Amino acid sequence: MPVTTFEFGEKYKYQNGFGSYLETEAIPGALPIGQNSPQKPPYGLYAEKLSGTAFTAPRHENKQSWLYRILPSCAHPPFAPAADSPFKSDKPTDPAKLEYIPNQLRWDPFDHDDQTDFVSGLHLVAGAGDPTLKQGIGMYIYAAGKSMDEHSAFYSADGDLLIVAQDGVLDIRTELGWLLVRPMEICVIPRGIKYQVHLPSGPVRGYALELYQGHFSLPELGPIGSNCLANARDFQAPVASFHEDFGATASEGPNTYLVTVKFNNSLFQTKQAHTPFDVVAWHGNYYPYKYDLGRFNTIGSISYDHPDPSIFTVLSALSDHPGTAVADFVIFPPRWLVAENTFRPPWYHRNTMSEFMGLIAGEYDAKKGGQGGFMPGGASLHNVMSGHGPDAKSFEGASNAELKPALVGKGSCAFMFESCLMVGVTEWGLKMCKKVQEGYNEESWGGVQVHWKRPEGVIPNSHLLK
C-alpha cells in the first residue's frame, strides 16, 4: 500500500519535501531575486517575514518564511474577546479545569454535528501544560457540518495543529495555499498561519493535537539507515494561491472579513476590510503540509518479539531531554507479522508516557471492535503508568493462533498521540460528550484468565537471608 486510493480525487498542485526550503509564486516574477526585503518588492507587494522560531535558533531548527502579499497582516482593527468561545470558564472544554485521573478511558465514536464549522466544532478532550509558557499539548475531537464562511479566517497563536482526518474531506485554504485533506491523510498547520476550512463532501469528524512547544520533526532512523518510516519526499506543501478583495487602503474594501485567533486558549476576533488570503508568493521552510499515511514504510521484526511501538512513529515533537517527546504521532497501519514463537500483538504495558489512541478505519488488532469496543471515530486514553494491553479475547486468540505469516490491519489504521506529559481530561471528555464506556476495564480485562500452574515439587527460591 505505497499510496492510498482515495474516493475523493485530488484538486491541487503541491511542492514535496519535509522541512525543505521551498519557493512558489502565483504570478511569475513576484518573488524578489537575491534579497528578501527590497525597497520596492515586485508588483507593489508588501514583504512580510513569518518567524516560527527565534531569530537566533540553531540553523537546523530555524523556521521562517518570507511572504509577498497585497496588504500586511498588521492592517486590521484591534482584537476583542469573542462573544462565544468553547474555552471560557463556564464551558465544559475549559482547559483550566482539567481532571487528572489514573483510570483507563475509552470513548464510543463521537457524534457528528451538522450545526458547527471547523472552529466551533473543536472539542478539547485532554491536555497538559500552558500555552503562555509554550509548554504542553491539547488533544481535540472535531466535528463539523458546514464550511467556514468565505469571509472568515482562523489561526492559533498557541501552537501548531496536527489534524487527523477520520470521516469526511477537509478543503483547507491557508495564507500560503490550498491543502486537500482526506481520511488517511494528516496535515499540520503551524502556529500563526491563517486558514479557512471547507467541507466539499459533507459533514466531517476527526482528531487533532495542538503542540504548544517547538515543531514536529521526522524521527531519527539510527541503524535503520537513510530511508523508511515517513520519507521526507512524501510530505506535500501548498503552492502559492491568492485572492483579490481589497480597497484603496487597508481600511476600505467591498467586504468584511472576520478573523479569529486562539490566544492563550481564548478566542479573540477582529473585522478587516481586506482578504487575509492575499499572499502572491512565498519562500521559506515554515509552511503547512500534509502526508498520506498509506506511504508510511512500516518496520517490524522478521525474527522474534514485537519491537517497541516507537518504530511506527510518523512525526515527533522533541522535549529538551534526548529521546523523550512532548508528542509523538504514531500509526498502526496494515502490516505483515512473521515473528516466530512470539505473542504478536502489542504486549501488556505500563508506560511513563501518556497514550491517546484513535481509530481512523477498520479494526485494531489488539482490541475488539463493534458495539462497546474500539471503533472508528472513538478513542482511548491510557495515562501515565496506567496498565493496558490486549483485551481478554484478543489475548486468547493471539496466544493460540497458528504462527504463519499474517497480514493484519488490512483496511484499517489506528494512531496514537503519545506524550511524556501527564494529561488531564476536560468535563466535556468525561461527562458532556456522553461517550465514555463505563464498562471499559471490566469488559476488556475482567475476563483475563489465570493460566499460572505452579510446577509440582518445585520449591520457590527464598528471598530471605539464610
321 is catalytic: no
Point out the catalytic residue in the list 112, 151, 306, 443: 306
Point out the catalytic residue in the list 48, 76, 388, 418: 388
Most distant CA atoms of the chain, gap in Å? 95
Q: Which residue has the cell 514583504?
A: 47
Round to whole Å and give the CA distance between 378 and 393: 20
Residue 198: in which H helix or E strand, if any?
Answer: strand 195-198
CA distances for 66 relative to 179, 215, 275, 379, angstroms: 19, 18, 18, 39
**Strand (E) positions, 10-134?**
14-16, 22-25, 46-51, 64-69, 80-81, 105-107, 122-130
Q: Which residue has the cell 481564548?
A: 266
The three three-digit cell numbers of residue 309, written as one number: 511501538
Q: Concatenated DSSP letters for 202-248?
A: S-EEEEEEEE-SS--BPPP-GGG-SS-BS-GGGEEEEPP-------S
355 is catalytic: yes
- The three-class DSSP label of residue 295 is helix
- The three-class DSSP label of residue 139 is strand
∠ CA(306), CA(310), CA(315), 5° rounding?
150
Residue 361: in which H helix or E strand, if any?
Answer: strand 354-361
Q: CB burial class (10 A; 0-12, 13-18, 19+) of residue 347?
A: middle
Edge-to-edge strands, sheet with 177-181: 80-81, 266-272, 257-263, 152-156, 195-198, 170-174, 177-181
Point out the catalytic residue in the list 210, 355, 363, 418: 355
Determine how many CB atoms are found less than 10 A away from the CB of residue 137.
26
- The three-class DSSP label of residue 45 is coil
Point out the catalytic residue in the list 243, 349, 396, 427: 349
198 is catalytic: no
Round to whole Å and give the CA distance between 265 and 54: 22
Strand 160-167 and strand 204-211: the pairing is antiparallel
306 is catalytic: yes
- Residues with catalytic annotation? 306, 349, 355, 382, 388
